[in-house]
Structure 1
Amino acid sequence: MACFPIWRKKSYSAPALAITSAKEEGLEGFPTYPCFDVYSYEELKSATQGFRASNKIGEGGFGSVYKGQLQDGTDVAVKVLSLESRQGSGEFMAEIAALLNVQHQNLVKLHGGCIEGAKRILVYELMQNNSLTQILSGGEQSRTKLTWKARREICLGIARCLAYLHEEVKPYIVHRDIKPSNILIDSNFSPKVSDFGLAKLIPDSATHLSTRVAGTLGYLAPEYAISGHLTRKSDVYSFGVLLLEILSGRCVVDFQLDIGEHYLVEKAWEMYKDGKLLNLIDPAMKRCYPEKEAMQFLLLGLLCVQETPSLRPKMSKAVKMMLNIDEHNLEEIEITRPGIIVDFMNVKIACKQTTFKSSPFSKFSSN
């Protein structure tokens, strides 16, 4: 059993933390926050046993995430922002603002954070089953943990959370990076939406926001990737891609020797046109699922990734479609072709001189 030193956890008001950081970084004007815990770097270093490699549970463009235990016995996930990360202080403070001003059962809980010099760290509740990425990418045996009931509840939980962010919060929040690695799974296989570093708060009176493009290639709505025109329908598109991933157990972009590189959204559309969409369901479930309900969820995925944003449903509507199959039978609805960006190398985003040579799975943020 690991031993941890005794420390006094300081409790600061978040406005003080935000204002200090904002002034240091030239980022004045952040909204006020409720109280949360501020930890010293040494406290978090001790909690993670010196950020030991064996405690690392995740890694991304922002840096690394470590599991740890606070002095009071609370298990936590410690997200350490890398000095080389593209996620700067603005994104760091945006994540604090987004998570501390909203509460939902399917939102990850933020315990507090640390700002010392150039160090930027956030402390979250620890999810026992890590992220959805670990489960989906762990092979067929790993995916057998995801029964139809588990997948159904994960899809519903994510949809409910997005509906809350899009339609109940004022100003409403667009996440901008909905993907498996940002969906954490607790011991009961309940999903928690995380990583709000790219989130945008948009006034209810605004129809859209023109902004630099940020997110993960493969999950970006085409109209947003090309023009920087951000709406709630951008998240709806990402949710549709994620829904197809959860149901199929396939990556958003895959490669097979016989057919080469192919895209999940494109594959789903071809199977839909051929009347074979149900064949997309993950074989790891061994056909133990209700076909009518599974088809409804697949069709909803395609409905969410339609090329025309106005044809995509609101997230509250998506929730109703998953809950009330008979009332919202999608097999009777004509679904139009999806928006697909096949050649990622030629996507022109925000700064026209920018060329991205990264993997389709890479997170990016244009300057």
Structure 2
Amino acid sequence: MKLGASLPAYRSYALEELKEATDNFDASSLIGEGSHGQVYKGKLSDGTFIAIRCLKMRKRYSPQTYTHHIEMISKLRHCHLVSSLGHCFECYQDDSSMSRIFLIFEFVPNGTLRSYISGLPKQRFTWTQRIAAAIGVVKGIQFLHTGIVPGVYSNNLKITDVLLDNNLQVKIRSYYKLPLLAENRGTMGAVLSSPGSRVSSQARVKREDENDVYDIGVILLEIILGRSIMFYNEVSVLKDLLQVSITTDDIARRSIVDHTVHKECSDKSLKTVMEICVRCLSSEPSGRPTVEDVLWTLQFAAQVQDSWSEGTPNHED
């Protein structure tokens, strides 16, 4: 795809290549570990850095079982997604069934968005950079919903899943609700859709779209306030704080914004982002905007901010 043109083509890797890239999966190459398996940082022979997710299979299946899943992963190419570069199957020698699957992704070097929002003051993003990062996140989610068939919804997105590349462009790292990973956690059959469900496919997609919009709202909340949100019970309190500030004057609005950016943002731009954030966090899913609405609103906020920064007659304060 054009958006992933700068990346090497998706391909199958030999296990020996991965061993060489990670010094035989040495502990010094391990950069993460969790319920989805281990993640290693590697360096290919051509100098390309990669991230390798190692999944141990709890049941024995043939490589053909995963062909469809791997094909879906290979399609996840977008400038705001951590793209997959390939895979490797490791099989048992006695019966050729699966023992491990390795998923190879591009390596994204500059940490998470959170460190640029609520980290060290000198490293924190400007208001303009924050809106651009939010737009990137929404574009990534929009691609997951509409760029492949079937779309991938309810991605359980967190700000710590948003990484920054060499150009400080955001890239979403997600497990994409893929059946491959669900099976690895011992829930075979937990696929993207649920055949036989009484809920219609269209209603299910709309509900799951609304889940992703809520998660976008939590990220926007952190972007505005410049503080880490560690617990979901904080969200409703902070949302109410934003709701009240929207109806007051610009001084009150700026008083709750991250102090490193509150003087540099246009009040109209700030208010616009606050309003869409509150809508995303609506307790009633049906009251949340669509991903397209969120994207349009954030792009408008960016335009307003640019005009204000340039000192054009259109600025409002």
Alignment length, in residue pairs? 261
Aligned to 1:222: none
The equivalent of 1:51 in structure 2 is 25
Q: Which runs of 5+ in 2 are unaligned?
A: 1-8, 92-98, 179-190, 195-199, 305-317
Q: Structure 2: how far apart are the matches of 1:324 and 1:135?
A: 23
Aligned position for 1:273? 244
CA change 1:290–1:173 in 2 (3 A) is same
Q: Deviations over 1:21-50 (max 9, x none)?
A: xxxxxxxxxxxxxx8322233321221223
CA displacement, residues 205-247 of structure 1 (integer Å, 9 cap, x when unaligned): 822339xxxxxxxxxxxxxxxxxx9421111111111121233
How far apart in 2 are the matches of 1:51 and 1:287? 48
1:131 matched residue in structure 2: 112
The aligned residue for residue 264 of structure 1 is: 235
Q: Residue type of the partner of 2:49? A: D
Residues 114 and 228 of structure 2 are in contact (CA less than 8 Å); yes or no, is this contact kept in structure 1? Answer: no
Aligned pair in 2 of structure 1 residues 278, 99: CA closer, same or farther (>3 Å)?
farther
Instruction: Look up the equivalent residue of 2:120 and give its one-letter code.
Output: E
In 2, Cα distance between the equivalents of 1:296 and 1:180? 20
Is this contact kept in 2: 1:180–1:242, CA < 8 A? yes
What are the ranges of 5 or more consecutive residues in structure 1 without an aligned counterpart?
Answer: 1-34, 211-228, 255-260, 329-367
2:287 to 311, 315, 337: 311
Of residues 270, 273, 288, the one that matches 1:297 is 273
Structure 1 residue matching 2:212: 3-state secondary structure: helix
- Is the contact made by 1:277 and 1:298 (CA closer than 8 Å) also made in structure 2? no
Matched, 1:232 2:205: no
Distance 1:105 1:326 in 2: 19
Q: Which amino acid aligns with 1:120?
A: I
| Residues 82 and 272 (structure 1), Cα distance of their counterparts in 2 relative to 1, 3 Å cut | farther
Answer whether contact 1:166 1:172 (CA < 8 A) is retained. Answer: yes
Give the alignment partner of residue 246 of structure 1, picking from 220, 223, 226: 223
Tell me which residue corresponds to 2:6.
Answer: none
Corresponding residue for residue 75 of structure 1: 49
One of 165, 181, 185 as aligned partner of 2:164? 185
**Displacement, 1:79?**
1.9
Query: Against the structure 1 CA distance between its residues 197 and 170, is the aligned structure 2 distance closer, same or farther, given a 3 Å change threshold?
Result: closer
Q: Give the TM-score taking structure 2 as reference length.
A: 0.69
Compute the RMSD of aligned alpha carbons: 3.4
- TM-aligned CA distance change 1:287 to 1:236, over 3 Å: same
Question: What TM-score do the two structures reach when normalised by structure 1?
Answer: 0.61
Q: Quick one: which amino acid aligns to residue 121 of structure 1?
A: F
In structure 1, distance between residues paired with 2:162 and 2:113: 6
- For 1:188, the aligned partner's letter is N
2:136 aligns to what SS in structure 1? helix
1:150 maps onto 2:153 in alignment: no
- Which segment drifts farther, 71-80 or 36-45? 36-45
Alpha-carbon distance in 1 for matches of 2:263, 2:55:
42
- Cα 1:243–1:64, aligned 2, differ >3 Å: closer, same or farther? farther
Residue 169 of structure 1: CA displacement?
A: 3.7
Letter in 2 for 1:251: S
User: Take 2:150 and 2:51, find their aligned partners in 1: how far apart are those partners?
Assistant: 28
* Structure 2 letter corresponding to 1:194: R
Task: Give me the whole-angstrom Cα distance separating, in 2, the residues matched to 1:50 and 1:133.
Answer: 32
